[in-house]
Amino acid sequence: MRLQVTKYDVAEYCGLSHMSVTRVLNGSPNVSGTVRERVLSACKKLNYRPNFTARALRLRKHCTVGVLMYGEGHFYGILNIFLQRHLSLRGYNGIFVFWKSQDELDKAFASLVSRNVDGIITVEECGALKREGLPTVISGKKVEDYDYVTFDFKHMMEQSFKYLTNLGHQRIGFIGKFDDERFTSYRNLLGVYRLASEPEWCQDHNLLNGGVEDGIRRIIMRSNRPTAIICYNDNVALGAICAVAEHGLKIPEDISIIGCDNLPESAFYNPRLTTFDLNIEKLAETLVSTLLHRIQHPHSKHSSSVLRPEIVIRKSCGEASD
C-alpha cells in the first residue's frame, strides 16, 4: 500500500526544512520566489495532497475559500483551474460561484457566506464584503481598503505603442472598455507620441449591439482607417480578425492587431496573434498566497501586487500599410 506523501517528504525532496515548506504552503510572503517555485513544483511531482481534516482541526478553520468569478470567458476558466490547483496545494478547498449581473453577484456572495468560507477571492467587490468583514483579495483591479492583485496595464499599453510606432504606425485604434485603465493609457499615449485620433477609431465593445464585429466595421469602413488596432483581450482580437477578413482586408498587410491574455488558442489564430502574456498561473498563485496571508494575519497592512505582462510577438502585426 502506497503511503501518503507528507510535507516532510516534500522538504526532503527539495533539500529544505519542514518549516520552509510549511511557510510556502501557508502562503507566507517571507519566502523567496525561487524557494516557492521549488516547493510547488515538488508538490506536483510527488503528488502531495494535504490532509484537510487534520489541518482544519489544527487551525480551527474550515480550510475553505470562496471564489466569486465571472460566468463567461476562457480567461476565467483557465484562472479557475489554477486557483483550484494552488488552493489544494496549500490545504484548502475552493467553492466556486459564478455570476453575470450585480444581482447575481450579491446572491453568489450570500451563498458563499452561508458555507462558512474562511476568505474570498473575487473579481468584483460588493457592499456585503465590507459588512461581513471576511478576508478578501480582489483580482484584476486596484481597489482601496482591500488586498488586490492586478496587472500593469499602463506598461502593456506603453509597450504596444512602442512596438507599433517602431513598425511605422501613426494611426492606432482601440476596441475595449472605456472605463478601463487600458483606454486611459491609450488616450494618454496618443498625446505622448503626438498621434492623431478620431472618435470612430475607438469603440467601447460593451456598448455595441452587434458586438466586436460591429465595432470593427465602424473602424475599418472609414477611408482614413487606423493601420493598427489594440484589442482589450484575445477574444476581442479574434472577433476583430474575423471581421477584418469578412471585409476583404488582410492582417497584417492592411491592419495590424494586438491582443491581451495569450490564451492557448491565440497561437493558432490565422494569423497567429501578437498579444501580451498575463501569466494566468502566476496570477492564481499570487491571489491564493495573498488571501492566505490575510487569513493568518487579519490586521496586517493591505497589500498590492502588480504583475507585468510581456509581449509575445507572432504574425498579426506588420509594417504600416501607408
Q: What is the mean pLDDT of residues 186-196?
A: 95
Same-domain status, 94 and 202: no
Q: What is the mean pLDDT of residues 141-146?
A: 89
Same-domain status, 11 and 111: no
Q: What is the mean pLDDT of residues 240-251?
A: 91
Same-domain status, 219 and 249: yes
Query: Is the residue at 237 inside a domain?
Result: yes
- Contact assessment for residue 105 and residue 99, using Cβ atoms and an 8 Å cutoff: yes
Same-domain status, 164 and 117: no
Query: Is the residue at 315 inside a domain?
Result: no
Confidence category of residue 1, pLDDT binned at 50, 70, 90:
very low
Domain that includes residue 16, residue range: 1-49
Q: pLDDT tens digit string along 12-46?
A: 888 888 788 877 877 666 778 788 888 888 888 87
Predicted pLDDT at 186: 97
Predicted pLDDT at 57: 44
Q: What is the mean pLDDT of residues 108-112?
A: 83
Residue 56 has pLDDT above 60, yes or no: no
Name the percent of the chain lying above pLDDT 70.
Answer: 92
The overall average pLDDT reported for the chain is: 87
pTM over 0.75, yes/no: yes
More confident residue, 298 or 210: 298
With left for phi above 0 and alpha for psi between -120 and 50, is residue 177 left, alpha or beta? Answer: beta
> How far apart are alpha carbons 308 and 302 in whole angstroms?
20
Report which of 251, 294, 297 is spatially closest to residue 273, judged by C-alpha positions.
251
Beta-strand ranges (E) seen in 160-217 are 172-176, 202-204
